[in-house]
Structure 1
Amino acid sequence: MRKLCLTLAVLLPLIAGAAHAQTQPFKAVGEQNDWTIDIGGGAVYGFSANGGDPDKVNAIPWVGFNYKNRFYGDALNGVGYNAIVHDRLRAGVQARPHFGGNADGEEGLKVPGLGADLGAYAFYRVGDNFSLGGRVMHDISHVSGGSSLFLSAAHQDITKVGLLQTMVYTRFGDRKTNQAYFGVKADEATATGLDAYSVGAGVQNVGLAFLMMTPIKKHYAIATFLNAERALGDVADSPLIQLKKNQEMSYRFGLLVVRRFSR
């Protein structure tokens, strides 16, 4: 039984960045084109785009585009615009989907559905390989009506296997956001037998993510990724988190194969 949303909101920006969507100001690797379209798919554990069971391997599609490092988007991260494109700085705006939770068939538990966030971001490169920054988002679909903050530190390295990106991050939510995804209202408590629980504004979690992009010939690449995340604060004490042993920790991993079209 879960109400919280398990998404690829961490890993997919990394994949998009490796595909030159350029929300991260890492130094460009490989041939640069005016436009690119990436099409592919794969399998992932720990995430379901349609609200299904995340605790199994699910198929995941990938369709993305980038135009002159200004306009970019994909099916799972929405669309964005880089208003500032400098060597060390990327800043812009995004309209992003916010995937709903999963109730595991529990009657009486109201699960947030698919929503949309409008956000602004800025990331600055320190030295040659580190990027620091974050993203502020607000729900514009009235699913939660709240706002959230994402902060990260990322590193990029070229290895013999491919392009490796590593990210540590933390996520914060205001009262509306945290209550929508981690709280239990009185009527839900009566219907489910859970304790009623109110969540205030504060930290949601901290996590670590790895992405390896391995090129295959000229137009193909394989992305393998791993994400470990730990709930913190009032979120970690939510009955929705405590239902299962060690539920404070969540894991996501998977593989994508992408074919690039460019000019």
Structure 2
Amino acid sequence: MSAAATAFGLSATTVQSEGGSFTPPQYSNFLSFGIGVVPDYIGSDDNFIGAAPFGIFGLGENRFVSIVANSAYVNVSKDKNFRFGPTATYRFGRDDDVDDSVVSLMEEIDDTVELGAFAGYMMELSDDIRDRATFGGQIAFDVGGVHNGYAASINARRWFPVGKFGVLGLGAAVTYGSGDYMDTYFSVSPVDAATTGLPQYKAGDGLRDARVMALFIHPITKNWVAGGGVYYSRILGDAADSPIVEDRGKKDQLIYGLGIGYVW
């Protein structure tokens, strides 16, 4: 399974869903499935068609569970504006299924589970529930023994009313990876170098990428909505200099897709 195998909910939010929930503001219960084009792995220039769920489920008193592709967020705060709670992510690895004939020869990276926490603040900008902004961050640690590191993100979201019922969401985020995390996903070991012909490379900690995203949602009936989105990321630092990105892939990553959802 490639690294970005579940990058879609209603549409693209982030690779591996990092950067927090991109929840449509006017829905307290929402479930959708989307389909779209995603990179084969982070930094790949090959794409495939992927699909994943996206949803939010109210728990009362402003609390909720949010599902964003391969991640889950549980807001335990009763405060209307301040949000925080635990997160869980199923991070896909990289195996010999990838389309790149050289990268496919590298040692496989197993899937793993990451656990962490998120916090954020939501601002209402007018009486229209769709008109709001959110700011936040999260950190997640590997508990599956694959990379034994962590990834941390900060993000900002802005929602705009469109017509009577539509909503446009714009967002930006950056992700920082620890040394162990970056080494696992972007280094080329001596064994990999001998197998693939790529130069040896040791990735250190630092910013992994910066990204922007856009999502548009519009009702089609009382309970059904449709939407689409696009997500662009620029791989940075040691991740960008990795031979699997610089020589075999590309630093600019684009994800886009369409989806349909049910609200209640």
Q: TM-score range by the shorter chain?
A: 0.7 to 0.9
Distance 2:232 2:224 in 1: 27
Query: Match for 1:43 among 10, 21, 35?
Result: 35
**Farther off after superposition, 5-14 or 111-120:** 5-14
Distance 2:210 2:22 in 1: 21
Following superposition, the deviation at residue 252 of structure 1 comes to 0.3
Distance 2:236 2:80 in 1: 35
Instruction: Trace 1:52-71 onto structure 2 (pairs within 5 A).
Output: 55-62=46-53, 64=55, 66-68=57-59, 69-71=62-64
Runs of 5+ consecutive residues of structure 2 not aligned to the other structure: 8-12, 126-131
Distance 2:222 2:45 in 1: 33
Letter in 2 for 1:169: A
Distance 1:235 1:219 in 2: 42
Following superposition, the deviation at residue 41 of structure 1 comes to 3.0
Query: Match for 1:151 among 132, 139, 154?
Result: 154
1:113 aligns with 2:116: no
1:18 aligns with 2:7: no
Aligned CA distance change for structure 1 residues 156 and 13 (closer, same or farther; 3 Å): farther
Following superposition, the deviation at residue 78 of structure 1 comes to 3.7
Aligned CA distance change for structure 1 residues 162 and 48 (closer, same or farther; 3 Å): farther
- 1:236-258 CA deviation, whole Å, 9 max, x = no partner? 1110111247x110100000111
Give the structure 2 partner of residue 132 of structure 1: 135
User: How many aligned residue pairs are there?
Assistant: 243
Q: Give identity over the alignment, percent.
A: 22
Distance 2:222 2:18 in 1: 23
Following superposition, the deviation at residue 55 of structure 1 comes to 3.5
Aligned CA distance change for structure 1 residues 230 and 77 (closer, same or farther; 3 Å): same
Instruction: Trace 1:182-201 onto structure 2 (pairs within 5 A).
Output: 182-201=186-205
- 1:14-58 CA deviation, whole Å, 9 max, x = no partner? 996435xxxxxxxx526x5xxx362x4332111569x9x984451
Aligned CA distance change for structure 1 residues 236 and 252 (closer, same or farther; 3 Å): same
Do the aligned partners of 1:45 and 1:254 also contact (CA within 8 Å) in 2? Answer: yes
RMSD: 3.0
Distance 1:14 1:171 in 2: 8
Following superposition, the deviation at residue 82 of structure 1 comes to 1.1
- 1:183-224 CA deviation, whole Å, 9 max, x = no partner? 111111111000110011111111111111111111111121
Give the structure 1 partner of residue 129 of structure 2: none
Following superposition, the deviation at residue 67 of structure 1 comes to 3.2
